[in-house]
A and B are shown apart, each in its own frame.
Chain A
Amino acid sequence: MAAVVQLEEIHKIYDSGEIPVHAVRGVTLQIPKGEFVAVMGASGSGKSTLMNLLGCLDRPSKGRYLLDDIDVSGLGRNELADLRNQKLGFVFQGFNLLSRTTARENVELPMLYGKRRFSARELHERAMRSLDIVGLTARADHFPSQLSGGQQQRVAIARALINEPQILLADEPTGNLDSKTSVEIMGVFQKLNEQGITIVMVTHELDIARYCKRNLIMRDGRLVSDVQVSPRLNALEEMKRILSAEAEAKLTA
Chain B
Amino acid sequence: MRFFNTIKIALRALRRSAMRSILTALGIIIGVAAVIAMVSIGNGAKSQVESSIASLGQNIISVFPGNFTAGGVRGGFGSASTLTVEDALAIQNEIPGVAAISPEMRDRSQVLANGLNWNTQVIGEDVSYLDIRIWSVAEGAMFTEADVRGAAKVCVIGKTVATQLFQDGDPIGQTLRIRNIPFKVVGVLTPKGFNFFGQDQDDTLIIPYTSHLKRIARRPNLNSIVVQAQEADQMARIQQDITDLLQQRRNGRDPDFTVRNQQELAEAATATTKTMTVLLGAIAGVSLIVGGIGIMNIMLVSVTERTREIGIRLAVGAHGSDVLTQFLIEAIILSSMGGAIGVLLGVGSSQLISKLNGWPVLVSTTAIIGAVAFSAVIGIFFGFYPARKAAQLDPIEALRYE
- What is the chain B residue whose CB lies nearest that of A77? B320
Query: When the two chains form the complex, which single residue of A52, A77, A78, A84 contacts B316, counting CB atoms closer than 8 Å?
Result: A84
Question: Inside 8 A of B5's CB, which chain A residues have their CB?
Answer: 112-113, 117
- What is the chain A residue whose CB lies nearest that of B311? A96
**Alpha-carbon distance A82/B315, docked complex (angstroms):** 10
Question: Inside 8 A of A58's CB, which chain B residues have their CB?
Answer: 396
Cβ of B396 and Cβ of A78 under 8 Å apart?
no
Question: Inside 8 A of A117's CB, which chain B residues have their CB?
Answer: 1, 4-5
Cβ of A110 and Cβ of B316 under 8 Å apart?
yes
**Alpha-carbon distance A178/B308, docked complex (angstroms):** 24
B 276-316 binary contact with A (CB < 8 Å = 1; else 0): 00000000000000000000000000000000110111111
- Which of B9-17, B75-83, B231-239, B240-248 faces chain A? B9-17
A 189-229 binary contact with B (CB < 8 Å = 1; else 0): 00000000000000000000000000000000000000000
- B399 close to chain A: CB less than 8 A: yes
Determine how close the nearest CB of chain A comes to the CB of B11; give it in whole angstroms: 12
Contact residues, B366-402 vs A (CB, 8 A): 395-396, 399
Cβ of A101 and Cβ of B315 under 8 Å apart?
no
Q: How large, as a class, is the contact surface on chain B?
A: 20 to 34
Given contacts A57-B395, A96-B399, A101-B12, contact A82 B317 (CB under 8 A): yes
Determine how close the nearest CB of chain A comes to the CB of B72; give it in whole angstroms: 91
Cβ of B320 and Cβ of A109 under 8 Å apart?
no
- Which of A38-46, A85-93, A233-241, A243-251 faces chain B? A85-93
Cβ of A101 and Cβ of B322 under 8 Å apart?
no
Question: Inside 8 A of A97's CB, which chain B residues have their CB?
Answer: 312
**Alpha-carbon distance A35/B16, docked complex (angstroms):** 39
Cβ of A113 and Cβ of B308 under 8 Å apart?
no
Cβ of B12 and Cβ of A114 under 8 Å apart?
no
Question: Inside 8 A of A92's CB, which chain B residues have their CB?
Answer: 399
Cβ of B1 and Cβ of A90 under 8 Å apart?
no
- A232 close to chain B: CB less than 8 A: no
- B318 close to chain A: CB less than 8 A: yes
Question: Inside 8 A of B1's CB, which chain A residues have their CB?
Answer: 117
- A159 close to chain B: CB less than 8 A: yes
- A124 close to chain B: CB less than 8 A: no
Question: Inside 8 A of A109's CB, which chain B residues have their CB?
Answer: 312-313, 316
**Alpha-carbon distance A55/B316, docked complex (angstroms):** 10
- A180 close to chain B: CB less than 8 A: no
- Please list the residues of chain A having a beta carbon within 8 angstroms of any beta carbon in chain B: 52, 55, 57-58, 77-78, 81-82, 84-86, 90, 92, 96-101, 105, 109-110, 112-114, 117, 159, 163
A-B contact pairs, 27 of them (CB 8 A): A52-B396, A55-B315, A57-B399, A78-B319, A78-B320, A81-B314, A81-B319, A82-B319, A85-B317, A86-B317, A90-B316, A98-B309, A99-B16, A101-B12, A101-B16, A109-B313, A110-B316, A110-B317, A112-B8, A113-B313, A113-B316, A113-B318, A113-B322, A117-B1, A117-B5, A159-B316, A163-B317
Seed contacts A90-B316, A112-B8; 11 additional CB < 8 Å A-B pairs = A55-B315, A57-B315, A57-B396, A57-B399, A58-B396, A77-B319, A81-B319, A84-B317, A85-B316, A101-B12, A163-B317
7 A-B pairs closest in CB distance? A85-B317, A117-B1, A110-B316, A113-B317, A100-B16, A112-B5, A113-B318
